[in-house]
């Protein structure tokens, strides 16, 4: 008998998780979206509620979860520095206890499980661009460590479950991604700059603005993750998923001002501790093994994101 694939998405009401849920529901899977709504928003998945192949469950993955599934995308963890540093201990728990619980679930159900890891495992890199073989340069006791080391430990757990229990793992190292469904108060650079520009407020440049990031549009990222999940059995990763087109923070601010037509100026703010100086993925593995590379240019992705935030800010300003 035909049965839909049952896919669990943890962190499914967040920015990336909600895009993943929409894509998987549209593709015909039965999607269980699990979220504790720490940084996620019900609105991100509201249009899926009521669809016959979508289920929304409020749950914190630092506690065990008993469901029957075929695949797990483990995306639950705050990702913005402002949010993950707000309760650092809970961030470590979300990564480490969350990984243990979800790997335990994968072991019992024999599900394939994909971990949303991060370019932060490379810390402040001394190799540029960063290939998966680079072990990273992370300060284990700084304010970013709860996230960086939490994610590194989660990777360790994934590979140990694979070696010890033959759990079917995939590890995606995600680089800075942006797009609709980011929260206006997310605190990451793209949403901050767009909201500031649309509100006519100064754009806050941390440090001198010469630090770099490589920004990937969300649709490209989701496609990369789905290809990795469905790739050959032996392609367990880690695989870098990101856009190798690098920009400085100042260039991003200038582009945002130009695209919004804003009169905002830029103001300098102190550079946060351990803020990486440069970051750019080497995506040779994803190109060769997944036949994947990003297709959306920064200007085009930013324009779509600006249009989204215009709508959000307008609905916030409407009375009632
Ligand atoms: P986000 O903050 O928008 O989403 C995270 C979601 O996880 C939220 O809905 C939040 O409520 C939920 N959550 C947090 N702790 C939870 C817990 N204990 N139990 C259940 N749900 C919990 O962030 P995002 O940008 O969508 O990131 C999603 C994942 O991708 C994260 O694991 C993040 O580390 C990873 N990632 C994202 C980026 C990026 O640029 N967006 C880059 C690298 C890695
Ligand atoms: N940044 C900035 N202004 C802001 C927010 C962030 O200049 O309002 C900088 C931040 O210092 C970092 C880069 O933008 O160098 C990316 O920050 P973000 O928080 O988006 O992600 P990170 O890659 O640091 O996790």
Pocket test for ligand 2, best of 213, 214, 253, 266 (most atoms within 8 A of CB): 213
pLDDT at residue 8, rounded to an integer: 98
User: With 90 as the cut, is the pLDDT of residue 2 above it?
Assistant: no
Residue 17 CB–ligand 1 contact under 6 Å: yes
How many whole angstroms separate alpha carbon 118 and alpha carbon 116? 7
The protein residue with its alpha carbon nearest to ligand 1, atom 1, reads 14
User: Going by CATH, does the domain composed of 6-178+216-244+279-296 fall within 3.10.310.30?
Assistant: no
pLDDT at residue 3, rounded to an integer: 81
**261 confidence band (pLDDT: 50, 70, 90):** very high
For the chain, percent helix, then strand, then coil, each to nearest 5?
40, 20, 40
How many whole angstroms separate alpha carbon 86 and alpha carbon 89? 9
The protein residue with its alpha carbon nearest to ligand 2, atom 1, reads 189
Average per-residue pLDDT in the chain?
Answer: 97
Q: What is the mean pLDDT of residues 151-162?
A: 98
For helices 298-317 and 189-198, angle between their N-to-C axes, nearest 10 degrees: 60
User: With 70 as the cut, is the pLDDT of residue 294 above it?
Assistant: yes
**317 confidence band (pLDDT: 50, 70, 90):** confident
pLDDT at residue 319, rounded to an integer: 64
How many whole angstroms separate alpha carbon 278 and alpha carbon 269? 18
209 close to 149: Cβ distance less than 8 angstroms = no
How many whole angstroms separate alpha carbon 28 and alpha carbon 31? 9
pLDDT digits over 81-108, tens only?
999 999 999 999 999 999 999 999 999 9
**316 confidence band (pLDDT: 50, 70, 90):** confident
pLDDT digits over 5-20, tens only?
999 999 999 999 999 9
In the chain, where are the structural domains located? 6-178+216-244+279-296
Q: Which ligand is nearest to the CA of 41?
A: 1
Residue 214 CB–ligand 2 contact under 6 Å: no
Exposure pattern of 95-110 as b/e (b: 16+ CB <10 Å)? Answer: bbbbbbbbbbbbbebe
Q: Is 206 a catalytic residue?
A: no
């Amino acid at each position: 008998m035909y049965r839909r694939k049952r896919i669990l998405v943890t962190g499914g009401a967040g920015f990336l998780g909600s895009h993943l849920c929409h894509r998987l529901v549209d593709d015909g899977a039965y999607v269980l979206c699990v979220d504790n709504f720490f940084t996620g928003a019900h609105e991100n998945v509201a249009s899926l509620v009521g669809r016959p192949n979508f289920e929304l469950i409020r749950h914190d993955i630092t506690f065990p979860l008993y469901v029957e599934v075929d695949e797990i995308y483990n995306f639950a963890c705050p990702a913005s520095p402002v949010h993950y540093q707000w309760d650092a201990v809970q961030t470590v728990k979300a990564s480490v206890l969350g990984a243990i619980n979800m790997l335990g679930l994968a072991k019992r159900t024999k599900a394939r499980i994909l971990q949303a890891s991060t370019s932060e495992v490379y810390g402040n890199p001394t190799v540029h661009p960063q290939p998966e073989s680079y072990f990273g340069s992370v300060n284990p006791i700084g304010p970013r460590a709860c996230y960086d080391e939490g994610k590194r430990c989660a990777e360790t757990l994934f590979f140990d479950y694979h070696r010890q229990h033959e759990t079917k793992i995939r590890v995606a190292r995600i680089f800075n991604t942006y797009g609709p469904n980011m929260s206006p108060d997310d605190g990451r650079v793209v949403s901050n700059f767009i909201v500031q520009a649309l509100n006519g407020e100064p754009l806050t440049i941390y440090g001198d603005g010469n630090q770099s990031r490589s920004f990937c549009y969300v649709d490209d990222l989701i496609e990369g993750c789905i290809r990795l999940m469905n790739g050959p059995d032996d392609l367990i990763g880690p695989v870098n998923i990101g856009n190798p087109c690098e920009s400085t923070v100042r260039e991003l601010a200038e582009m945002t001002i130009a695209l919004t037509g804003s009169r905002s100026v830029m103001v300098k703010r102190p550079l946060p501790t351990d803020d990486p100086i440069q970051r750019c993925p080497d995506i040779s593995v994803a190109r060769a093994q997944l036949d994947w590379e990003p297709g959306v240019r920064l200007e085009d992705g930013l324009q779509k994101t600006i249009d989204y935030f215009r709508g959000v800010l307008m609905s916030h300003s409407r009375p009632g």
